[in-house]
Each structure stands twice: as C-alpha cells, then as structure tokens.
Structure 1
Amino acid sequence: MQLHQIIPLVAFILATYSVIGNDVIQTLGTFLTSNHKKKWWILWLYAAGILTLVIVYGWIVNQGDVSYGRLDMIPLPEKMAFWYIIPPLVLIILTRFGLPVSTTFMILSVFSSQAVIEKMILKSILGYAVAFVFAFGIYLLIAKKFESKESISRAEKEKSKKGWLVAQWLSTGLLWSQWLVQDFANLYVYLPRQLTLTELLISLFIILVLMALLFKSRGGKIQEIVHSKANTQHIRSATFIDLTYAIVLFLFTELSNVPMSTTWVFIGILAGREIAISYRLNKNEIGKSRKQIFRDLYKVNIGLIVSILLAYAVGMLNLMEV
C-alpha cells in the first residue's frame, strides 16, 4: 500500500478519535452524567446499537453514502497529501484543553471552497441563534416546575423516576441519531463518497472501538462543560436538554444538506437554558450566566479562527505542490 493510500485511513482514525472526544460528548454528555452509576459498557451498547443502525441505513438508502448527502459539495481530493492529517491532530490538542471546538469547521474547512465555508458558517450561526431562542422559550415555561431545587429534590425521591429514566434514554436515542446524520460527514470526508461493504465494516469497527474508550473514561475533558451547567446530572434536566437539542438538529437536517456545526447548536441550547433558569429562579445569577455564555462563545470562536487558518494553509500547500 502506497503512502497516498495510507494517509486517508490514518486521517480517518485520527478524525474519528478527535470528533468522538469533542463532539460526541456534547451529544451524549448529559446521558453519561445522569447515568453515572450505570456500567459504562451498558451505555456504550445502547449508543453503539443506534449508531450501527443509522450508518447501515444510510449506506443502504444512499447507495453507499453514509454522510446523508452532507459531502455532496465537498469532493474527495484525487491525491491526499500528508498535511490533511493536521486538522484532526490540532483538534485532538484543543480537545485536551477542554475547548468545545467545532469539528465541522476544523475538519471540513480544509476540503471546502470559500463559498461552502461561508454557507457552513451562516448555517451554524443561524443554528446557534435558533437553539438559544428555542431553549430560552422552553425553559422560561418549565424552569420553576422542573429545574428548581425543590422540584429536583422531590423527583429524586419519587418512584416515578423510572419513567423519567425511560424518557431520557429515548430522548438521547433521538438526539444521537440526529447528530449522527449531521456529523458523519466530519468522519467520512477522508474516505470515498460511496463506500464498499468492506470499507463500511472496517470504518464501523474503528468508530465503535474508539467510542468504547470514550465511554470507559466517562467523557474526558470536554465533559466539564456539561458538568458546569445547572442540574445536568439529573434525569429530568438531561431529558429536556437532549430533546430540545434533537428537535433543533432535526429542523436543520430538513433545511438543507449544507454541513453545520452541531457544537454551536449545543452551546446555543445551554446558553438559552442557563439564562432562562437564572431569570426564573435566581435573577442574581444572570450576570454569572452571561459570563459563562461569553466564555463558551470565546472558546468556539477560537476553534473557528484556527479552522479558517488551517483551511488557507492547506490550500497554499496544495498550490505549492502543483
């Protein structure tokens, strides 16, 4: 096997590792937090089963395209140079510092034209805004009943908690499936747009093994962002977060097949939620919530800037090679 054939496989493995360490925890973080007493492999089996169904279904109905059309505007380079490995390596480093970096921008930008990058940025900004407003509106209505200390304490003691446990697992399953439809493109951008059965099975095996490592470590560094938000360790709170997130992702899945940053949607959900809870339950905390929101925005914008710089750097290297 020649070097230019090895690079896509190595890049796919690195991208999978980096995306799982960064983006997956933003989708399954509340699930892991609220089910911290359960064995990690039980949670992994649930997530792995849904992932397998989504990827196999996409492969069958889309004639080998598991990205669900998200890579239609992003062609695979005829010859992939070694510098295409740089973005997932940078993403791994940033993830180690706990930065909620957008893997969509970090990975896909180096393959995309300026026009596609602009569309991804606009759709992601819109995603943040819609997520913020949607979450803010929902939590204005439900904060007092479901997010106050008294209601949380009662829920912990009630036998009906099992019902909320089922609801949270279902909402997580819905969210997980919608996130996969959006973010499979970030993994499979390094591989042919139509996979053979062998390529499908090998890539699926790699993803499931790396997911198992994440679940065993209970989320890693990025999980701290989930822990820092109010009540995320409680089943009811996790259920509402996951359901809100899933609805917004579904809306944007139907809007267009332009890739978008699910990280920005996630940050928007948490931001709208935090402001609404502070406003309804403790107005003295609004200033603190604003600081958290700006801190999270600062972190994701660092990733955006680095992504654009990487895209230009890779573009220049490609021109120099020609």
Structure 2
Amino acid sequence: MEMTTIYTIIGFALAGYSVIANDSIQTLGTFIASKQKWFKWYTLASAASFVMILAITWGWYSNAGDISYGRLTRIPFQEIQWYHAVAPGILLVLTRIGIPVSTTFLVLSAFASTVVLEKMLMKSVVGYGLAAVAAYICWIVVSKFINEKFDEVEDKWIGFWRNSVWVTSAWLWWVWLSHDVANIAVYLPRQIDVNLLLIVLAYFTALLFYIFYINGGTIQKVVLDKTGTRYARSATIINVIYAAVLYYFKELNDLPMSTTWVFVGLLCGRELAISTMNKDYKFKYVFPLIGKDFLKMTIGLTVSVAIVLAIHYIIIPNNWF
C-alpha cells in the first residue's frame, strides 16, 4: 500500500471522527439535551443516522457524486500527504479537551490557499455577527412573551414543543451536513462511486451511535452551560434560527465557512438578550461564558493559520518527507 493511500485513510478517519464528535454537537446538542430524558440513546442515534443518510445520499445524487454539496469547488483534489493527516489529529486532541474549534479552518486550512482561507475567515466572521444579531433580536422578542428559564409550558402545548424538536433538529442537521461534510470529503475524490458512498455512510453511522452513546461527550458542555437548552421549547427556537442562518449562507455562495462560529455567535446573542430582559440574570454572569467560548475559537483559528502558513511557507518549499 502506497503512503499516500495510508495518509488518505488516516486523514479521512480522523477527520470523520473529529468533525462528527466536535461540530455535530452544534446541531445535535440541543436535541440530545432535550430528548435524552425521554428516549434511549440508540433511538435518538437511529433518527439522526436516518437523516444523515438521506442528506448525504441526496447530496451525492444531486451533485454528480460529490457529497460535499459543491463546497469544495475552490479547493481542488490533492494527493494526500502526511501534513494533511496531521490537521484532523490536532482537531481530535482539541475536541477531547472540550474546545469548540472550527473544523472548517483546522481541516481545510491544510488544503486551501491563503487566499481561500482569508475568504473563508471573512465569511465566518460575518456569519458570527449575523447569528449574534439575529439571535439577540429574536430572543428580545421571545423574552417579552416567555421566560425560558422559569415559565412552564402549558399542558396543551407540551406535545407541540416536543414534536417540534424532532422536526427542527432534522432540518438543522440536514442544513449543517450540507456545509460540514466538506471537511471530511476533502480527503476523497470530488466524485465517488456507490461503493465508497456506502463505506462513508457506514462509518458516519457508527460514529453517530458512539457520540449518542456518550451523550455528546466533553464538547456537549458548551451547550449545557447555556440557559434552558435542555427545554424542548428553547431547543426548538435555537434550531430554527441556527438553521435559517446556515441556509442563508449555504445559498449565498459555495465558499466553505465555519459553522462553529455561527453557532457560538447565536448562543452569544441569545445569552445577551436573556440577560437584557431578565433582571435576575446579570451581564457579569454572561460575559465569562461568551469570553470563554470566543477564546476557544481564537485558539482554534490560531492553530489553523499556523498550519496553513507552515504548509505553504515551510513544509512545501523544503519538501520535507
């Protein structure tokens, strides 16, 4: 077996695990938090896997064998080298210690040019800001009618909100996959055959079952730290706004972006809105949460930039290994 094939397998396997373990909690975190009390983990995993199989298969069918939904048109396929496999390995380490870094920056930075990386960063920054503003406005309006932390849902509405979590989580999960599958598909040819598609789906399904088995892992704490994310009503509202922002950027252009930045921006705007409307929830409690998440994102971005600079200005010119 050639070394490039070995690097491809290692890179794909690590990227798959890292992306599913790290980024999927953005979309499935509120789903897990609000449903784990009522359903077995394997029931939830089966539902998420079903949507995942449909989303990736549809992307493969509608994009002539490209499961990335066309997100890699500006990043041509490259022969996989050792440094391509290192990037998801770093991501895996950061994931294990609970840092919600951007897999888009950390993985795609090993493949993208500095120009593409700069455009990805700008799109992600705009996404962060738009999500924060949209969330702030929406939750200011929501807070005028309900207190997510203390108001109990009337019995006649309980079934509606619980069912809404299923529907909105499926929509958000689908939209998110159309963005972030590119972070794994970058290790594969831009068009894959049916056999490789089945291998990809089987691997992703196994990863999803594992993530649900451990209830989201360490990174799930980013979701649980925020106000009311265990409640079906709050989870539904978060899902709808997050999915709407992601869908907007999906239709805007084919440039990859960091869904992590959008997610953290959404939670930032939400916490600020709740603290604005709730006298018992002071800003001094909010800013440590917001600052901690932003610091973690900055760490991931710094590592990503270091990787792309090292590849383009140190490793490739010297042709190491």
Using structure 1 for the length normalisation, give the TM-score: 0.96
Residue in structure 2 matching 1:308, options 281, 300, 305: 305
SS at match of 1:111: coil
Q: 1:210 corresponds to which letter in structure 2?
A: L
Structure 1 equivalent of residue 136 of structure 2: 136
Once the two structures are superposed, residues 112-152 of structure 1 have per-residue CA deviations (whole angstroms, 9 ceiling, x without a partner) of 0111001000000000000000000000000243334441x
Match of 1:175 among 169, 172, 176: 172
Deviates more, 1:174-183 or 1:36-45: 36-45
User: Does 1:52 pair with 2:53?
Assistant: yes
**Percent identity between the two aligned chains:** 42
Q: Could you list the per-position Cα deviations for residues 133-175 of structure 1 after superposition, in whole angstroms to 9, with x for gaps in the alignment? A: 0000000000243334441xx21x6243111111111110110
Alpha-carbon separation, structure 1, partners of 2:150 and 2:18: 39
How many pairs were matched up? Answer: 318
Q: What does 1:215-254 correspond to in 2, within 5 Å?
A: 215-254=212-251
Q: Retained in 1: the 8 A contact 2:175–2:243?
A: yes
Counterparts of 1:283 and 1:250, CA distance in 2: 34
Contact 2:83 2:110 in 1 (8 A): no
Contact 1:9–1:191 (Cα < 8 Å) also in 2:
no
Counterpart Cα distance in 2 of 1:85 and 1:149: 43
Q: How many angstroms apart in 1 are the aligned matches of 2:94 and 2:243?
A: 26
1:67 paired residue number: 68
Give the counterpart letter for 2:231 in structure 1: H
Q: Secondary structure at the match of 1:110?
A: coil
Please identify which structure carries the higher helix content. Answer: 1
Q: Which deviates more, 43-52 or 131-140?
A: 43-52
Counterparts of residues 269-288 of structure 1 (less than 5 Å)? 269-282=266-279, 285-288=282-285
Could you tell me which amino acid in structure 2 is paired with residue 209 of structure 1?
Answer: A
How far apart are the structure 2 equivalents of 1:320 and 1:139? 52
* 1:206-238 deviation digits (Å, cap 9, x = unpaired): 111111110100000000011100000100001
Matched, 1:34 2:8: no
Match of 2:93 in 1: 93
Alpha carbons of structure 1 residues 125 and 57: separation in structure 2 relative to 1, 3 Å: same
* Unmatched 5+ stretches in structure 1: none
Work out the CA distance in 1 between the residues paired with 2:104 and 2:196: 22
Letter of the aligned partner of 2:225 in structure 1? S
Change (3 A) 1:129 1:319: same
Q: Secondary structure at the match of 1:223?
A: helix
Question: 5+ unaligned residues in a row in structure 2: which ranges?
Answer: none
1:166 counterpart = 2:163: yes
Alpha-carbon distance in structure 2 between the residues aligned to 1:148 and 1:42: 27
Give the AA of the match of 2:319. E
Give me the whole-angstrom Cα distance separating, in 2, the residues matched to 1:85 and 1:286: 42
Cα distance in 1 for partners of 2:162, 2:115 equals: 44
**After TM superposition, where is structure 1 displaced by more than 4 Å over at least 4 residues in a row?**
none
* 8 Å Cα contact 1:108/1:186 also seen in 2: yes
| Residue in 2 that maps onto 1:13 | 13
| Pairing partner for 1:319 from 306, 309, 317 | 317
Matched, 1:290 2:290: no
- Contact kept in structure 1, 2:20 and 2:207, CA below 8 Å: yes
In structure 2, C-alpha distance between the alignment counterparts of 1:235 and 1:193, rounded to whole Å: 39
CA contact (8 A) 2:114 2:308 kept: no
Amino acid at match of 1:321: N
CA distance in 2 between counterparts of 1:204 and 1:284 reads 44
Cα 1:189–1:149 change in 2 (3 A) is closer
Report the residue type matching 1:9 in the other structure.
I
Deviations 1:235-290 (A, max 9, x none): 00011011110000001001111000000000010000000011111265112212
Give the alignment partner of residue 267 of structure 1, picking from 264, 269, 272.
Answer: 264
Instruction: State the distance in 2 between where 1:248 and 1:231 align.
Output: 21
Cα separation, partners in 2 of 1:149 and 1:219, compared to 1, 3 Å: closer
Q: CA deviation at 1:10?
A: 1.7
Specify whether residues 302 and 53 from structure 1 end up closer, same or farther in structure 2 by C-alpha distance, changes over 3 A only: same
Of the structure 1 ranges 183-192 and 36-45, higher mean CA displacement relative to structure 2 is found in 36-45
Question: Could you tell me how far apart the structure 1 residues matched to 2:106 and 2:142 are?
Answer: 36
> Using the alignment, how far apart are the partners of 1:129 and 1:114 within structure 2?
23
**Equivalent residue number for residue 206 of structure 1:** 203
